[in-house]
């Protein structure tokens, strides 16, 4: 299901309005004559005539496109995580060939949608969109300033629609341009090129300790929660082994099944080297933001609570079954620029959030948020935390420490 209840964009004959969450999906055209339902089951009134948007053809042609492809377009676009409005505009204006391209190579259609100028007039936009989707796949890559070859297209077809955001496609481009043979071979042999595969190959996670077999294992994962947990564990390993921290024996990651064991071993060694008992005695600086407390229907205590010392941080890690305690010394050294909070909302799973002050804007932002056992958090919880940060950012500095008014839950 799409999180957006309604999409609107301009077309030749007015404004196209799409409702992806209705069953069946509905498509309307709004113009000077009023609001006309185009899909499904459109029956034109006597004497009514509408031209299809983006083309100079008959209403029958438009109706055929809508009846044949509207549901298919909306269902396919709902899988993408970003650029949904641009993808809808592209598919409904470029027609059948855009739909076929989206089925064949979601990453390529996402790249086109990102490259087209959304503020161009609908005539210019449509002409350009139709021109691009009619090109050969390799020529489309050249048009978008990507390395052009059949092998590149074959690899792009492995990028899932959900991972076809522009940032991930730029990582893919970086890897191809870099041209390291072992990375190209991994992309060629991977079952899927998901977002974590791209991050691992882009050099962001101690590349010398990542083996091709490990990346190929990651490419076989389809469960987004499993991918996120693996990412959290890899990031945790990288953070605690990066100089000038304690020297630890860094493993070579050969298989995905070895990740959890190596992660737990390194964390245990880190905690031992840092003298676990000393962590329990640490006192943190004053939190950069006060907590917020709300009441649930069961009269329980809920809200966002700062973890004010090493023992509270340790207990949070034990309660949530993750390694937040490894941040203890970082919180002390950052002196209020980094801080951990426990989040507990009524009828929602709990979470742990780290907030950090942006050195450029000096605003507080979510540095990391994780659920039980490093799982992704409930979207409502993440939204609540961001709303809390935004609300606190509007409060002038120097306010007395304490619990403040909560955003609506």
The string of pLDDT tens digits covering residues 215-233 is 999 999 999 888 988 888 8
Higher pLDDT, 110 or 71: 110
Query: Which stretch of 88-92, 101-105, 117-121, 345-349 has the lowest confidence by average pLDDT?
Result: 117-121
Query: Which stretch of 165-169, 198-202, 271-275, 341-345 has the lowest confidence by average pLDDT?
Result: 271-275
Tell me, yes or no, whether 348 lies in a domain: yes
* Same-domain status, 83 and 212: no
Last residue of a domain, one of 156, 187, 218: 156
Tell me, yes or no, whether 169 lies in a domain: no
Tell me, yes or no, whether 195 lies in a domain: yes
The string of pLDDT tens digits covering residues 375-394 is 889 989 999 999 898 887 65
The string of pLDDT tens digits covering residues 293-323 is 887 777 778 999 999 999 999 899 889 988 8
* Same-domain status, 307 and 243: no
* Same-domain status, 243 and 360: no
> Which tokens go with 86?
């641009």
Query: Which stretch of 264-273, 332-341, 365-374, 384-393 has the lowest confidence by average pLDDT?
Result: 264-273
Tell me, yes or no, whether 304 lies in a domain: yes
Confidence band of 10 (pLDDT split at 50, 70, 90) = low
Domain count, the chain: 3
Q: Check residue 13 and give its pLDDT.
A: 62
- In the block, residue with structure tokens 């030749």: 12
Cβ neighbors of 64 (< 8 A, separation 6 or more) are none
- In the block, residue with structure tokens 């605690």: 240
Q: Check residue 73 and give its pLDDT.
A: 79
The per-residue DSSP string of 44-59 comes to PPTT---PPTTSS--H
* Same-domain status, 117 and 23: yes
Closest CA to 53 of 27, 73, 74: 27
Angle between helices 106-115 and 166-178 (to 10 degrees): 110
The predicted model gives 120-139 an average pLDDT of 85
Helix/strand/coil for 7: strand
* Same-domain status, 296 and 383: yes
Stated as kind and residue range, the H or E segment containing 389 is: helix 379-393
Q: Check residue 399 and give its pLDDT.
A: 40
Last residue of a domain, one of 240, 273, 306: 273
> Which tokens go with 179?
């041209």
* Same-domain status, 148 and 200: no
* Same-domain status, 115 and 15: yes
Q: Check residue 245 and give its pLDDT.
A: 54
Cβ neighbors of 75 (< 8 A, separation 6 or more) are none
Q: Check residue 101 and give its pLDDT.
A: 93
Last residue of a domain, one of 273, 304, 323: 273
Q: Per the confidence metrics, is the pTM higher than 0.75?
A: no
The string of pLDDT tens digits covering residues 36-72 is 666 544 344 333 333 333 333 445 555 666 667 777 8
* Same-domain status, 68 and 146: yes
Closest CA to 87 of 112, 64, 62: 112
Higher pLDDT, 232 or 360: 232
Tell me, yes or no, whether 164 lies in a domain: no
- In the block, residue with structure tokens 């340790």: 314
* Same-domain status, 267 and 289: no
Q: Where are the alpha helices (DSSP H) in 144-211?
A: 150-156, 166-178, 181-189, 195-201
Closest CA to 171 of 197, 148, 133: 197
What letters, b where the CB count within 10 A reaches 16 and e where it falls short, cover 175-198? Answer: bbeeeeeebbebbeebeebbbbbb
Higher pLDDT, 192 or 13: 192
Range of the domain at 247: 179-273
Tell me, yes or no, whether 403 lies in a domain: no
Tell me, yes or no, whether 402 lies in a domain: no
Q: Check residue 363 and give its pLDDT.
A: 80
* Same-domain status, 288 and 376: yes
Q: Check residue 91 and give its pLDDT.
A: 83
Are 190 and 217 in contact by the 8 Å Cβ rule? The answer is: no
* Same-domain status, 25 and 105: yes
Tell me, yes or no, whether 398 lies in a domain: no
* Same-domain status, 145 and 245: no
């Amino acid at each position: 299901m799409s999180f957006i209840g309604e999409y609107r964009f301009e077309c030749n004959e007015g404004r196209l309005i799409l409702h992806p969450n209705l069953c069946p999906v509905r498509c309307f055209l709004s113009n000077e004559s009023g609001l006309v339902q185009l899909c499904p089951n459109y029956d034109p009134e006597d004497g009514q005539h509408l031209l299809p948007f983006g083309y100079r053809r008959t209403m029958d042609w438009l109706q055929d496109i809508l009846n044949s492809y509207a549901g298919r377009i909306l269902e396919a676009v709902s899988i993408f995580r970003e650029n949904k409005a641009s993808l809808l505009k592209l598919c409904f204006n470029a027609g059948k060939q855009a739909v076929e391209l989206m089925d064949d190579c979601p990453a390529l259609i996402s790249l086109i949608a990102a490259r087209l100028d959304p503020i161009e007039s609908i005539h210019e936009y449509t002409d350009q969109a139709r021109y691009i989707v009619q090109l050969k796949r390799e020529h489309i890559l050249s048009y978008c300033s990507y390395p052009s070859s059949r092998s590149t297209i074959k690899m792009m077809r492995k990028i899932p629609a959900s991972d076809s955001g522009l940032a991930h496609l730029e990582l893919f481009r970086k890897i191809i341009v870099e041209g390291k043979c072992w990375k190209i071979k991994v992309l060629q042999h991977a079952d899927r090129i998901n977002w974590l595969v791209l991050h691992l190959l882009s050099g962001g996670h101690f590349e010398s300790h990542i083996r091709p077999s490990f990346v190929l294992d990651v490419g076989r994962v389809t469960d987004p929660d499993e991918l996120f947990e693996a990412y959290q564990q890899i990031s945790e390993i990288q953070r605690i082994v990066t100089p000038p921290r304690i020297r630890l024996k860094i493993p070579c990651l050969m298989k995905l099944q070895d990740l959890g064991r190596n992660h737990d071993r390194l964390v245990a060694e880190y905690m031992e080297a840092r003298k676990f008992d000393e962590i329990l005695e640490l006192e943190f600086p004053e939190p950069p933001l006060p907590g917020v407390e709300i009441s649930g229907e069961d009269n329980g205590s809920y809200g966002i609570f700062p973890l004010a010392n090493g023992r509270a941080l340790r207990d949070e890690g034990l309660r949530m079954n993750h390694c937040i305690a490894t941040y203890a010394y970082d919180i002390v050294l950052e002196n209020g620029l980094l801080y951990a909070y426990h989040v507990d909302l009524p009828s929602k799973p709990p979470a742990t959030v780290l907030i950090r002050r942006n050195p450029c804007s000096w605003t507080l932002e979510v540095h990391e948020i994780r659920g039980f056992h490093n799982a992704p958090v409930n979207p409502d919880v993440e939204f609540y935390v961001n709303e809390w940060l935004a609300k606190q950012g509007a409060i002038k500095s120097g306010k007395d420490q304490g619990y403040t008014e909560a955003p609506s839950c």
